[in-house]
Amino acid sequence: MADLRGFETGQRRSAFRSACDVCGGEGSPWLEKRGRRLVRCRRCGFAWVPEGLLFTRRELSIYEDDELDLFAQDRDYYRDPGALDAARDKVEWVARFVAPGGRLLDAGANVGTFVSEAKERWDAIGLDPSAAAVEWGRAHLGAPLVVGSIFDDVPPYVGRFDAVTLFDVIEHLDDPAAAVRQCRRYLARGGRLFITTPDIGSPLARLLGRGWYYLDLDQHISMFSTATLTALLRRHGFQVMARRTLGRRYQFSYIERRLENLSHQSVILRGAHALALPLRLAPDRHVSINLGDVVGLVAVAD
């Protein structure tokens, strides 16, 4: 399989996004946090941050800047046993649609928890823009990772993969349409595309409104509902085959800390944090949660 080592990734700067990436409609201001804005399409409801990616003083996106070491900030999320459980769940999900022994590309692989499990069933490789995450995943998980992104044009990858996965990635992208087009280029005939993302159209997201915990405008710059993500895929030549929601097993310490950080956003979250305070008594325990506000879609090229 082709390797991206030595491949020079281009410096991409976000362009101001004035029109909806799904339907081309006009955006209406909806939310502002720390000088960054979220607008929603008046026609279809897709939401996006017009300024796109957040860049650091080093002129790198926050996902490329190793000094930030984002994957290490939530150790009881990314490196918790619940992350491994979630990766294994995704492996079983993919296995229902992709035969063993095929080729799989995991874009936005982080430290490679999923791809390190996937390699046992498929010829798998993961891409991530963070050199620190790639280095850690190779050293500690034996993950087949390279530094890169779905926006890198790698000719040997065209038509090569039986599956491409974008797990919790598309919400971080400043050009989701371009990413979907690249996924289609990389897929072999009949290949499957797997996407998971927070669902801004879910009942819980609608209940919490502007206080929904996934509305992080520094990182989540393209917010889809199931309907708008389906529309984007159809627009670029995919047919959705299956849909599911995803949850995972969370450590008590992570739940309590997240609710504390979010408690200022709404009365509901303040109440939830008050109810979660007893979790401090057993910080290392876990609980499985699926609130129905993360959607997973499987699509095949028409």
Output the six-digit token pair for 64. 């490329």
Question: Dihedral of the CA atoms 162, 168, 171, 173 (nearest 10)?
Answer: -60
Residue 57, pLDDT score: 65
**What is the separation of C-alpha 89 from the centre of its chain, rounded to a whole number of angstroms?**
16
Residue 284, pLDDT score: 82
Q: Which amino acid is at 206?
A: R
Q: Where are the alpha helices (DSSP H) in 156-225?
A: 176-186, 203-208
Task: Give, for all 302 residues of the chain, the pLDDT tens digit.
Answer: 444 444 434 445 667 888 999 999 999 999 998 889 999 999 999 999 999 988 776 666 767 666 555 555 555 556 667 788 999 999 999 999 999 999 999 999 999 999 999 999 999 999 999 998 899 999 999 999 999 999 999 999 999 999 999 999 999 999 999 999 999 999 999 999 999 999 999 999 999 999 999 999 999 999 999 999 999 999 999 999 999 999 988 888 888 887 888 788 788 888 888 988 888 888 888 888 899 999 999 999 87
Residues facing residue 204 across a β-bridge: none
Residue 281, pLDDT score: 86
Residue 73, pLDDT score: 55
3-state secondary structure (DSSP) of residue 92: helix
Residue 5, pLDDT score: 41
Strands 103-107 vs 123-128: parallel, antiparallel or unpaired:
parallel
Residues facing residue 173 across a β-bridge: none
Domains, in order of start, for the chain: 27-301 (3.40.50.150)
Query: What is the residue whose two structure tokens read 């299956």?
Result: 242
